[in-house]
Structure 1
């Protein structure tokens, strides 16, 4: 499935604006993202770009941006007929971040630390080589352009950033939200080309980027995908956010393509080292994100066990899937029921012990946590 969700809000007399872009369901390995609302637990229908289901008005406090225009599926452009969109290409550079109120001395110290942690030249090499929304082409030879020591350095620096972050990120709008990428690097470049890219020449100065996991496996360019995202995290640590998906686990991506790709493209010895180092970093990834304390973003869902955001916040990292609790399994593996008429908890076809959750669970969770929207991928 393929999707891009984009959320934007402006503080104006206590109100917030919200935009969402969602790509239609496509090939299994394409980017995906699905949205749930407090009034509807089902995945939004194909070719739908509304924040809430069409039969329900948006809840108070979550509104479409005043410049949003719902359009029919495009017949041309870089994405052909794959997109039904709400225009996000003309976001205004206003209503951006407000200060967190930290003292000047603390802010200066933080800026100094930020510069020191971003001093590595490895991310510059990655960005120069890969961040080409219009010009990137798959390498003729499958050999990856980075060596193991460079990947290790990239992981070391990014891991320090993730270690500083809480398990549930606190993000301010506007923010663009991306679902599963699964090694489909060409799709990621097309999305950046179509909707703006995370660079100073793009929109990174006034729009954050949030990625909901499943960066590797299935696609042919998992190495490009994960190394670019890590480089972006290092370059723009306060504006690019990554959370964990169920494929960010060694026992899963050993079976679905990432391990084999590392070996084939880097050689057996360095490939295994790179695969192990990247999986070690995955254990540090944050697990969910709150946007303006009203929209929660996660990879899978709330399953049977998650009733309060504090349960996710309590998960200590680094954490492996083997050591994780039922909360982690639900967070990364659960799904909503296929339609809103199916309530409660049902067995999940993904595997034993996994569940799907109905609209009643979504409504209860949003009410208990004063939330208006769940955005998920998977």
Structure 2
């Protein structure tokens, strides 16, 4: 056992948004037993701080959504990056770990690695989906990459980037056999109800563009089956208020939807099918083995930019992992209330399809299941020779 004198004095980390905060917190929980006296610091959120992390800046100073939203905040965010870089170059931590947030972290990692500080990036940027040219920067910036999907390991290895597959943390949080009846009891829903979860997104921009179409689809579904119950988890009070405002603007106040404070996993577990915005939430739905329709709308200009960048026919993580359209994807103008209703109706009513999906999603769950805290911590310890 190494003496405390030989243990690294500090490890720096940066998470720029809530998902990275959760990711880094899990990594810290795996590292702390091996490095009990080390100082973990940088930029992070409440979950990292619960692990004894010291954040030099409020994480929400970095949280910006969308390609265009970053422009007015660029100077402030760049200033934070430069200040943190100078602090770390002076201190020289044993390693720097960037938790996702590649726009900020890769630039910082490139400068730290050039100065001889080992850099670890947790969650490989999706170069397999778009902007594959970033691999050149990743090679310059990253000493070791931690990836959460099995197929990513070979991509980075072929590019010459040292890499470890550590499993997806969500696969550990979601039970292999979800408790649907328990979830319905918790939400006060009848056990024999037909339940649809509506998940237009947690970001304000996602709510802005998705809410009217998602709730419009719910109204049409209710016309087909009066017994349907709808639940919609809200990420916070701001999101709830904005959701209700958008529903009112669209004249859809008559659609009965049970709004939940958080409880997204309970909502998914309770549902027969889910209408979900593209993103990590679609993977959560797959892990709960639920039929779904993936949909997404955004600012027209942003859509015109992004639609030409993709390398694959899929945007939803369940479809990307399956390498086929297991579930429907409806994007931008195609994500209109009638089309969403029709697609959701098939997910609700096609029993053989539902059973097939459940088996495919179970296989997917097993492929993603590792002890990510232990695996990611072990990779970091190898990098710092512990």
Asked if TM exceeds 0.5, the reply is no
**What TM-score results when the alignment is normalised by the length of structure 1?**
0.31
**What TM-score results when the alignment is normalised by the length of structure 2?**
0.31
Which is helix-richer, 1 or 2? Answer: 2
If you compute each CA radius of gyration, which structure gives the higher value, 1 or 2?
2
